[in-house]
Amino acid sequence: MAYLAGRMLVSVEAGAPNNGRSADTTARVKYATVRGRRHPYVSAQAVRRWIRDGMVRQGVPASPVTRVGKAQQRAQKANTDADPITYPDDDLFGYMRAGAKKDDDATTLRDSPFMLGTLLSVTPAHPTEDFGVMARGVSEPVLHGHEFYSADLAAPFLLDLPRIGTFTLPNAHGVGRPNYLSQEAALQVARAAALGAGAESFRGQDSVRLPVAERRRRAALLLESIAHLHGGAKQALHYGDRVPHVIVLVPFHGGVNPLTHVITGDEEGLRIRGDVLRGELEAWAGEWEAPVRIGWRPGFRDDLRERFEKECAAEIADRTVVIGHPRTILLELAAEMRDGTTLDHWFEDPVREPVREPVR
Amino acid sequence: MTEPLSAWRVVFYAPVASFRDPLFPGLTRGLPVPPPSTVRGLLAAATGEPSESLAFGMAAWSEGGGTDDETYHPISASGLNPSVAGRVRPGKGGMTIRSRPFLTGVHLTVWLPGPDGARIADALRRPRWPLRLGRSQDLVHVGERTRVTLNPAEEAAVGSALAPLSGHDVPSATVHRLAASVSTDRMASRWTDYLWCDIPAGRHPVRGAYEDATCRAHPGAEKGQALWLLEP
């Protein structure tokens, strides 16, 4: 097993969690135009920021603040570069390190093992423009309008578990450069050696890898952070809960995410489709591992839930599909990962047997 | 080019994806279709090889789009502007906001001919690296994979297929200069001009094309989709 694929739904009620550039005195929410209609969205990088900040709030040490000025000439490099070996957030979310043109430094980056799509509204929604006036103790009132909306936003995500704490090294042809660490640089980091990092081959490339205990801890931190998710703009005016209202998690052997149409929308509004989930699981038989974990917040769209549970009744009865509160589902999965007795095989690529199609 | 060809047809769907045009340095101009090199990268991610050099056919269109405002936190190699929990102070070479055009509802159809095509179609069942179309956040949904026979055609529905400049004379087609392939060290790109129609074109005379009689790559197009095998 190697990938944790998922889809999350965040229901926004009268909120403006992510805004674009303002027009005149009015702050505009971000929206995409799909088939000529407006779908509000929260950009992927905004949600990644919420999750990242959530990890910091859980006490994961973020890169320390070092003030750099003329007095210091130069900062301590170990604290200032993105350091995925020391900091779980740099490891999970990746970064870009831009070299100066004049120094001919290569631009290097870490490709994020945690991939999250845009939280896009499943149905068109028309933002409301709220007219705001600041008139306390001023003779000329200041106008400050803003838009807000109510919508169900859904995003796919994919966690490449074996790549957590794994840093590929460039070979002679430059393949695998994205992780920028040279073997010396990687192993020289005293902490990496102290953590017991070793050199090994990863998907055909040389790599340096942290021990599995640290890697499973980092994966668990990420899930725990999603279970505590909150953040975004306009918290004071439009406070809203951002813990996913519905989340679907399926571990896959390969880097696919076939859950796109499980949470979707049509003219009727939001759809959460058990028949689609069953169809995908059947089509990908042998490529995923039970149970399918579904988090569904109590009281959120009971009508859809009843229908979903009816459609998946057989799977729920034999525990192929497990439904619980999103927080419980995420925290239990994180605890199971940390425990290391049952899920350690998720952190290695599956043994590759040629996959043969059923002949149609 | 006279014999029918056996191939796998694979459809992909990305709810949101964006393809930056690298020919505009310093600006983010979005491309309306994924470049062939991007699709090649997607196929190589599935097989786990450094690159895939088979000639494949592709058609793509999108349901809509928008422009996002993105905050960049580039880390300078000089260490003068450190990143703290992923944040970088604003300033020259530091935190900056850029607009980024993106597409929504991107539909991509790829035709993979021959034994190489069968090998890749097989790998798409269990991709070695995560499948993405565009950037790392643009997760892609693999749709159905179908075995098809491609027949050389004199006339076919041009639809939203990418064609070489000599492929057809549809007046509404526009020329896009896209990367055909990028070397594995990312130092060299091969640029090629392609014809593409944003509104699917109907049946037209085509040159050097194959026809997939069972396919319409766009719901508004006719059956009998034309496709051109694109070289790396």
Residue boundaries of the structural domains of chain A = 3-69+77-131+147-161+217-347, 166-209
How far is it, in rounded angstroms, from Cα A337 to Cα A255? 19
**Mean per-residue pLDDT, B23-51:** 92
A241: pLDDT strictly greater than 80: yes
pLDDT of residue A72: 47
How far B99 CA sits from the closest chain A CA (Å)?
A: 9
Is the pLDDT score of A178 beyond 60?
no
Residue A347 has pLDDT above 80, yes or no: yes
Residue A331 has pLDDT above 90, yes or no: yes
Residues of A in contact with B75 (CB under 8 A): 81-82, 95-98
Q: Does B91 touch chain A (CB under 8 A)?
A: no
pLDDT digits (tens, 9 = 90+) for A73-110: 544 444 446 678 778 888 898 877 665 555 445 556 67
Q: Which of residues 24-63 of B touch A (CB under 8 A)?
A: 45-46, 48, 50, 63
Q: Is A99 exposed, middle or buried (0-12, 13-18, 19+ CB in 10 A)?
A: middle
The confidence band for A180, taking pLDDT boundaries of 50, 70 and 90, is: low
Confidence of residue B186 (pLDDT cuts 50, 70, 90): confident
Angle between helices B114-123 and B36-47 (to 10 degrees): 70
- Close Cβ partners of B121 (under 8 Å, ≥ 6 residues apart): B8, B10, B112, B145
| Subunit contact A255:B130, Cβ cutoff 8 A | yes
**Over chain A, what is the mean pLDDT?**
84
Residues in CB range of B218: below 8 A, 6 or more apart: B59, B61, B107, B159, B160, B200
Q: Which chain B positions have a beta carbon within 8 Å of A111's beta carbon?
A: 136
Decide if A96 and B147 are in contact by the 8 Å CB cutoff: no
Mutate to test the interface with A, among B62, B129, B139 (most CBs of A within 10 A): B139
Q: With bands split at pLDDT 50, 70 and 90, how would you rate the model's confidence at A3? A: very high
Please write the tens of the pLDDT for every residue from A274-286: 999 999 999 999 9
CA B209 to chain CA centroid, nearest Å: 19
Residue B134 has pLDDT above 80, yes or no: yes
Q: Does B64 touch chain A if contact means CB atoms closer than 8 Å?
A: yes
* Residue A224 burial (CB count, 10 A): 21
Q: What is the pLDDT of residue A318?
A: 95
Whether residues B68 and A43 touch (CB distance < 8 A) is answered with yes
Percent of chain B with pLDDT over 90: 68
pLDDT of residue B105 exceeding 80, the answer is yes
H or E stretch including B166? none
Residue B66 touches partner A, C-beta closer than 8 Å: yes
Are the beta carbons of B16 and A158 separated by less than 8 Å?
no
| Predicted pLDDT at B219 | 87
Mutation target to probe the A interface, by most A beta carbons within 10 A, among B43, B78, B187 is B78
Which pLDDT value is given to residue B183? 85
In chain B, what percentage of residues exceed pLDDT 70?
98
**How much is the pLDDT for B178?**
95
Distance from CA of A173 to the nearest CA of B (A): 6
Per-residue confidence band for A69, with pLDDT thresholds at 50, 70 and 90: very low
Which stretch of A48-52, A254-258, B213-217 has the lowest confidence by average pLDDT? B213-217
